[in-house]
Structure 1
Amino acid sequence: MAVAIKETNFNFEGQTDFYRGKVRDVYYFGKKLAIVASDRISAFDVILPEAIPYKGQVLNQIASKFLEATQDIVPNWLEAVPDPSVSFGVGCKTYPVEMVVRGYLAGHAWREYREGKRILCGVALPEGLKENDRLPHPIITPTTKAYEGHDEDISREEILKQGIVAEEEYVQLEQYALALFERGTEMAKERGLILVDTKYEFGKQGEKIYLIDEVHTPDSSRYFYAEGYQERQDKGEKQKQLSKEFVRQWLIENGFQGKEGQQVPAMTEEVIQGISERYIELFEQVTGEKFQKSDMNDVIARIEKNISAHLETLK
């Protein structure tokens, strides 16, 4: 079994703060930050007990590719990738909403629709849709950004009413999100994929809005294979997809949905290896590039050395 990066605990010269998220370790240096994409994995807002080898590298490298490919649409936070599992860039004050864009009725939206709801986050949905049907046009279904517990659906009207985001800025976030989704859709099509839904996070430093976090990765997005999509829809079959949904489905099948009293099923070596292989498959399918496994011998020391070396270049 390959080594996995479960957590880091560095103390760099010039470090001003540290934050550990569900899957990332964030090191602050004044107005800059380094994000270590660990191999931790979460589902249903719960961090699973075992880390997945190469998962962090997969997500870090996909995100850097898409950030570079969308910087003409909106400025983003990324400045450098000093290590396969590390990104370095601009520290921002995060907007407390996530912009979820949906082009198809899948996942959470489908579950709400199946329960009879026809308005999702203030957006009206037409009658007669089936799971995974294409929506008439992409929609934005924002959520509040929870640092602990579950993100909650919220409408545009409620965001503005509560003053969570100023209207002028929120309109800009909507425009950015839809333009990014359009670009992501075009890039997915080139790879024989359909970008089903995704989420974008934005932040601000000074008066400038930045796209932050990861973009168009399988953890933040859902992809279908384009080939055979319509045929599967017509037959009422499940879509062949690329996303973290396979992890959620494995958990559901083993009696876990993050609800009180439920236990995370045992993650055997076989399960961990299988998830790792799926993430690598996701990388290769989404990017069209062969995944190069980084050297995991003394990986924590490697990451520390690479971040330190990058900080030296900034002096």
Structure 2
Amino acid sequence: MSLADKVLAVNDDLPIRTDKPVHSGKVRSVYWLTEKDSRRLIEEKGYAVAPDAPLAVMVISDRISAFDCIWTGEGGMRGVPGKGAALNAISNHWFQLFKERGLADSHILDIPHPLVWIVQKARPVMIEAIARQYITGSMWRAYQKGERTFCGIEIPDGLQKDQKLPELLITPSTKGILKGIPGVPEADDVNITRTNIEENFAAFNFRSKSDIDLYEQLLKEGFDVISAELEKLDQIFVDTKFEFGYVTDAEGREKLIYMDEVGTPDSSRIWDGEQYRNGKVVEKSKEGFRQALLNHFPDPDILLNKDRMPERQALARDNELPAAMLMDVSATYVDIAEKITGKKLEISENPKAELIAILRDHYGLID
């Protein structure tokens, strides 16, 4: 079996019973179950949710996106072997730890297969909740240009690239294009201040002003839990993005939960501790792939300049990357997943056939 067969690249064409359009993101596809199937599974599996809670099957792919484009490799490689399984395994691990430590629940109710979650529908908070412990990436580029205020927070002069910040910074941005919020541009992924959120909390989908404190608390606590665990593995948790939403529990109470994914190489920067102490940054996250792309193409400005998006999209569409570049990503993701979970990562030989069989035989979701 070829490497290409082990990759689940297309994940929005599965024969899962649904009466709504499949929502396909950069990496995951969401199949909303029928009301009948949702109720049946809640009863059969004993999920701790309201009996009429809408459920979905979320299938992760092995696609890799960077600079807002999907990249492919030679030999028909439409993604990175093991990437989806690694992301899910890492998220599952952290979500479980958060729950054990009494932080908050996640949207995941069940894990039928390494590439599949059964989730309850959440009402997302429209914020990319970003926390930074080191100055690097876009923040460093802005700092170099003289910016000293990030998301309303003043940063001191004299910081060096990749230096640890005096404290953990919360630098949120918008999730999606939000309209009609004073002082917030109508564009995806724009930085916002805590004042923006407080003055327009309902527009960001917060139930109450006091939940802004709760989201910040859960963000900090979650960051600290992951950071402390990674430190034991001599890995540095540099920065990350969390997402939050509201769900209704079995008693009909609305509660704020973690959703999407947490602490993964896709949503976070992770550095090797020993190398960092020796003055070298070795990425254990997607940042390494981004750097490789910048080095691979003769004009890296295409990847960095949002005004050149059509050229960037053409670059991703018309260029198959060397297989070695994607296998480097595979090695990074599998290695960090195995470090974090302490278990060997199971990579399916034929993921699509496997997960169809499980969802058909054990969940009754495929006719």
Tell me, yes or no, whether TM beats 0.5.
yes
The amino acid of 1:110's aligned partner reads W
Shift of 1:289: 2.8
1:274 match? 328
Check 1:65–1:310 CA distance in 2 against 1; reply closer, same or farther (3 A cut). Answer: farther
Note if contact 2:95-2:262 (Cα within 8 Å) is conserved in structure 1: yes
Note if contact 2:133-2:169 (Cα within 8 Å) is conserved in structure 1: yes
Task: Kindly report which structure 2 residues correspond to 1:71-86, keeping only aligned pairs within 5 A, or say none.
Answer: 71=99, 72-86=102-116
Shift of 1:201: 0.4
Q: Please say if 1:161 is aligned against 2:210.
A: no
1:46 match? 69
Shift of 1:251: 1.6
Q: Please say if 1:57 is aligned against 2:85.
A: yes
The amino acid of 1:116's aligned partner reads G
1:28-69, Cα deviation, whole Å (9 max, x unpaired) = 125112211101111112222431121111111111111111
> Number of paired residues?
306
Helix, strand or coil for the counterpart of 1:195? strand
The amino acid of 1:210's aligned partner reads I
Question: What is the aligned counterpart of 2:17 among 13, 16, 23?
Answer: 13
Helix, strand or coil for the counterpart of 1:70? helix
1:134 match? 164
Helix, strand or coil for the counterpart of 2:274? coil
Shift of 1:310: 4.6
- Tell me, in whole angstroms, the C-alpha distance in 1 between the residues paired with 2:342 and 2:199: 44
Shift of 1:104: 0.9
For structure 1, the 5+ residue unaligned runs are: 233-237
Q: CA RMSD in A?
A: 2.1
1:48-102, Cα deviation, whole Å (9 max, x unpaired) = 2431121111111111111111112111111211011111122101111011011
Note if contact 1:92-1:203 (Cα within 8 Å) is conserved in structure 2: yes
Note if contact 2:59-2:116 (Cα within 8 Å) is conserved in structure 1: yes
The amino acid of 1:285's aligned partner reads K
1:204 match? 246
1:254-274, Cα deviation, whole Å (9 max, x unpaired) = 234163223234312232223
Shift of 1:118: 0.7
TM-score in terms of structure 1 length:
0.90
Q: Please say if 1:257 is aligned against 2:303.
A: yes
The amino acid of 1:96's aligned partner reads M
Shift of 1:114: 1.5
Relative to its length, the structure with more helix (as a share) is 2
Note if contact 1:191-1:288 (Cα within 8 Å) is conserved in structure 2: no
The amino acid of 1:81's aligned partner reads I
Shift of 1:150: 4.7
The amino acid of 1:44's aligned partner reads F
- Tell me, in whole angstroms, the C-alpha distance in 2 between the residues paired with 1:270 and 1:81: 31
The amino acid of 1:229's aligned partner reads Y
1:171 match? 213
- Tell me, in whole angstroms, the C-alpha distance in 2 between the residues paired with 1:102 and 1:18: 33
- Tell me, in whole angstroms, the C-alpha distance in 2 between the residues paired with 1:103 and 1:306: 41
Q: Between 6-15 and 179-188, report the one with greater CA deviation.
A: 6-15
1:144-192, Cα deviation, whole Å (9 max, x unpaired) = 1127985221111112223324421211100110010110111111111
Helix, strand or coil for the counterpart of 1:178? helix
2:127 match? 97
Note if contact 2:85-2:346 (Cα within 8 Å) is conserved in structure 1: no
Shift of 1:294: 2.2
Note if contact 2:18-2:31 (Cα within 8 Å) is conserved in structure 1: no
The amino acid of 2:192's aligned partner reads I
For structure 2, the 5+ residue unaligned runs are: 36-53, 73-77, 179-186, 249-253
- Tell me, in whole angstroms, the C-alpha distance in 2 between the residues paired with 1:96 and 1:58: 26
- Tell me, in whole angstroms, the C-alpha distance in 2 between the residues paired with 1:120 and 1:309: 51
Task: Kindly report which structure 2 residues correspond to 1:229-268, keeping only aligned pairs within 5 A, or say none.
Answer: 229-232=276-279, 238-253=280-295, 254=297, 255=300, 256-257=302-303, 259-260=308-309, 261-262=311-312, 263-264=315-316, 265-268=319-322
- Tell me, in whole angstroms, the C-alpha distance in 2 between the residues paired with 1:239 and 1:13: 46
The amino acid of 1:55's aligned partner reads K
Helix, strand or coil for the counterpart of 1:109? helix
- Tell me, in whole angstroms, the C-alpha distance in 1 between the residues paired with 2:332 and 2:226: 21
- Tell me, in whole angstroms, the C-alpha distance in 1 between the residues paired with 2:361 and 2:70: 31
- Tell me, in whole angstroms, the C-alpha distance in 2 between the residues paired with 1:190 and 1:168: 34
Q: Between 180-189 and 165-174, report the one with greater CA deviation.
A: 165-174
Note if contact 1:45-1:150 (Cα within 8 Å) is conserved in structure 2: no
Q: Please say if 1:288 is aligned against 2:326.
A: no
- Tell me, in whole angstroms, the C-alpha distance in 2 between the residues paired with 1:308 and 1:6: 21
Helix, strand or coil for the counterpart of 2:264? coil
Q: What is the percentage of aligned positions where both structures have the same residue?
A: 29
- Tell me, in whole angstroms, the C-alpha distance in 2 between the residues paired with 1:190 and 1:146: 36
- Tell me, in whole angstroms, the C-alpha distance in 1 between the residues paired with 2:176 and 2:290: 20
The amino acid of 2:58's aligned partner reads I
Check 1:60–1:15 CA distance in 2 against 1; reply closer, same or farther (3 A cut). Answer: farther
- Tell me, in whole angstroms, the C-alpha distance in 2 between the residues paired with 1:52 and 1:138: 32
Q: Please say if 1:188 is aligned against 2:230.
A: yes
